[in-house]
Amino acid sequence: MRLIGKEEIEDIAVGAALLGTGGGGDPFVGKMMALQAIEEHGPVKLLDVNEIDDDDLIVPCAMMGAPTVLVEKLPSGDEALQAFTSLEKVLNKKIKATMPIEAGGVNSLLPLALAATTGLPVVDADGMGRAFPELQMVTFYLNDVSTTPMVLADEKGNSLVLNTIDGKWAEKIARAATMVMGGSAMNAIYPMNGKQVKQSCIYYSLTLEENIGRTIREAKNNKRNAIDAILGLLGGFKLFTGKVTDIERKTDGGFVRGMAKIEGLGSNKGETCYLEFQNENLIAKTDNEILCTTPDLICALDTETALPFTTEGLRYGSRTTVIGIPADEQWRTKRGIEVAGPRYFGYDTDFIPVEQLNGKRGK
Amino acid sequence: MRLIGKEEIEDIAVGAALLGTGGGGDPFVGKMMALQAIEEHGPVKLLDVNEIDDDDLIVPCAMMGAPTVLVEKLPSGDEALQAFTSLEKVLNKKIKATMPIEAGGVNSLLPLALAATTGLPVVDADGMGRAFPELQMVTFYLNDVSTTPMVLADEKGNSLVLNTIDGKWAEKIARAATMVMGGSAMNAIYPMNGKQVKQSCIYYSLTLEENIGRTIREAKNNKRNAIDAILGLLGGFKLFTGKVTDIERKTDGGFVRGMAKIEGLGSNKGETCYLEFQNENLIAKTDNEILCTTPDLICALDTETALPFTTEGLRYGSRTTVIGIPADEQWRTKRGIEVAGPRYFGYDTDFIPVEQLNGKRGK
């Protein structure tokens, strides 16, 4: 167990933005909520996965909705409390700790804000090791943890307890409810015992986010190349460097879908990179070749600072370096690729690991 | 208390179709379910409102969804049981009886089918005295009974428990969930104690439906004019007689919206009647005058047999007599008109009681 204070939050927010692979909602919102909650209630206890008991009730929490809406419509904080209280009533058991469902964007920080407010500890883990757009795209689901009972609560005081036959139905129904609730809602989901967490989670996600943030910060202070430092930390690949010349984006069915067109600079001069996203970056390609696909992580970083761009943050003229990072091994199994691989999202291509696609480009 | 067997069901189904004012779903589906359940489990106990205790838990149940979907996608029966069991768990109390939420269409018969299956009695009452398209359009809502906790369950095994800040939010969220559940779902809603039922319900709805069915059946047997017999029973008005020459209908947002155009015959020759509906018939007018508006009941009956047409049943060439029936007094209050009057549905006209509009046309 260690304490997370304001300084750690700053680094975590940067790491969350990077692992968010363009989606997950701008972590700035979550950061502000976490900082304010820590200011009021003191630092948050971060638990190592091995510190939780096998029969402890652990409940991840997250905001659901299009990132473009999340950043406009701030959670009040009460909806998370309401979601937790409702779920405790349904399960007739006290929640011992919370954790992020995804390592990326606003949803990495929200559990910290909730934890500071309630005094609950946060487990240093998540269910994606990145951000993904749908509720069933978590390692808990890959390991047959039930998505429901889940609670969805909005800032107005409406809430629902959902019980579904599988995670995809939870996604469909909760998504529809979220849309009429105003485009975003808080959920408490995948209630698990400690043993299930240990078997299915991705370990040390918050610590990794903190390390990413620290690496970028220290590289800047030491005038080292921050992108190289990040690639070293994450075992990633530099896919493309260029300048955004076109960006299409629309909020549709609770998702932000679109594409950024990047004209190459330096060694990529003359080439064009197309970055397609559905909340998160899902595929990066040039006219001739695929550079990286989901479930591997595709991140567009500021070429100068290595700070990550969200898909909402990409602008005409942004100078960006696109990097690819191998996903957790759980995502590279047959089941993982079925759930979150390129074909699930409608791309007519098989998943090929980023290290195979980019071996020749080098780290 | 009296028993409802198969013969009563036949009459109730006809009355339900008539009070359904074109909507509520074709009662044929509910009738088949009720007949089958009674065949298997025996007759249903129908309770007089005054027979229930003030602290009995009474829970109405109904199908939600567009009538066009309801008749295509039959409930399995299990979803109603699941809805009741979930609600009992939430409220930690046994349900003593069920009742229809509306007196009209499939939703008059479904509680009888559920009651036969479970052995629960049915209260001889409802919350509309007719059919209406939205969940908050019930006398329970007019009397400040909470719409939630409500349960929505589909035939696949998905369910949700909803808690909302008011009835309109329950309608919005449940409607969105129903759409993704496949267009129809069962709900258990407005849980009430016996005292609340007595204060807010519309009394003797099932008996009235049975009387309507019997009146039409006996008029036919006795070669009397069935429409005149119905107008006498219900204090209604003959608004228009003619032949359907055009019908527009589309399923949209969980509702069936449209209009029937009726060319006059007999004393209405040369006139045209326009019947506009959103699941239910909401306004009947000619080129010059309004004949009847919601919340008063507008029913299109077969001119020969007096059997009611649903909005899905109206066809080019149908010979129909449109009648208007005064709504229950609860709907003619300021609050009632706000909730279900013509302006709520987007018509730019005040509510004028059908007896004032048609005094000159006579009964």
pLDDT of residue B362: 46
Mean pLDDT of all residues in A141-149:
97
Which of A154, A161, A171 is the best substitution to test chain B (most B C-beta atoms within 10 A)? A161
- Interval A166-183: pLDDT, tens: 999 999 999 999 999 988
pLDDT of residue B289: 94
pLDDT of residue A184: 87
- The whole-chain average pLDDT of chain A stands at 93
Lowest mean pLDDT among A11-15, A38-42, A77-81, A271-275: A77-81
**Residue pointed to by tokens 């879908």:** A257
Mean pLDDT of all residues in B314-342:
96
Mean pLDDT of all residues in A56-67:
89
B47: which strand partners?
B123
* Cβ <8 Å between A179 and B176: yes
Contacting residues of A for B184, CB less than 8 Å apart: none
Fold for domain B2-205?
CV3147-like fold (3.40.1610)
- Interval A246-283: pLDDT, tens: 999 887 766 788 999 999 999 999 999 999 998 899 99
pLDDT of residue B270: 96
Min distance B167 CA to chain A CA atoms (Å): 11
Q: Is A87 near chain B, with CB under 8 Å? A: no
In the CATH hierarchy, which top-level class contains the domain A224-361?
mainly beta
pLDDT of residue A37: 92
Walk across the sheet containing B272-278 and list its strands.
B290-293, B280-285, B272-278, B255-264, B237-252, B319-325, B297-302
Judge whether residue B169 has pLDDT over 50.
Answer: yes
Judge whether residue B237 has pLDDT over 50.
Answer: yes
Distances (CA, A) of A87 to A92, A148, A156, B30, B208: 8, 10, 18, 35, 43
Mean pLDDT of all residues in A199-205:
97
Contacting residues of A for B156, CB less than 8 Å apart: 165, 169
User: What is the rounded distance in angstroms from the CA atom of residue A121 to the CA atom of residue A48?
Assistant: 10
Mean pLDDT of all residues in B42-56:
97
ipTM: 0.83
Contacting residues of B for A163, CB less than 8 Å apart: 86, 158-160
Confidence band, pLDDT 50/70/90 cuts, at residue A360: low
Contacting residues of B for A162, CB less than 8 Å apart: 158-160
Judge whether residue B71 has pLDDT over 70.
Answer: no
Considering only CB atoms, B165 lies closest to which of A86, A158, A179, namely: A158
Mean pLDDT of all residues in A228-246:
96
Other C-beta atoms lying within 10 Å of the C-beta of residue A163:
22
Judge whether residue B361 has pLDDT over 60.
Answer: no
Considering only CB atoms, A177 lies closest to which of B158, B161, B176, namely: B176
Contacting residues of B for A151, CB less than 8 Å apart: none
User: Where exactly does CATH 2.40.390.10 map onto chain B?
Assistant: 225-361
pLDDT of residue A321: 97
* Cβ <8 Å between B158 and A177: no
pLDDT of residue A362: 46
Check residue A294 and report its DSSP letter. T
User: Where exactly does CATH 2.40.390.10 map onto chain A?
Assistant: 224-361
* Cβ <8 Å between B175 and A180: yes
Q: Is A163 near chain B, with CB under 8 Å? A: yes
pLDDT of residue B68: 65
- Interval A89-114: pLDDT, tens: 999 999 999 999 999 888 999 999 99
User: Where exactly does CATH 3.40.1610.10 map onto chain A?
Assistant: 2-205
Min distance A351 CA to chain B CA atoms (Å): 30
Judge whether residue B252 has pLDDT over 80.
Answer: no
Q: Is B297 exposed, middle or buried (0-12, 13-18, 19+ CB in 10 A)?
A: buried
* Cβ <8 Å between B179 and A179: no
Considering only CB atoms, B179 lies closest to which of A158, A169, A176, namely: A176
Which CATH number applies to B225-361? 2.40.390.10
Check residue B328 and report its DSSP letter. P
Judge whether residue B209 has pLDDT over 50.
Answer: yes
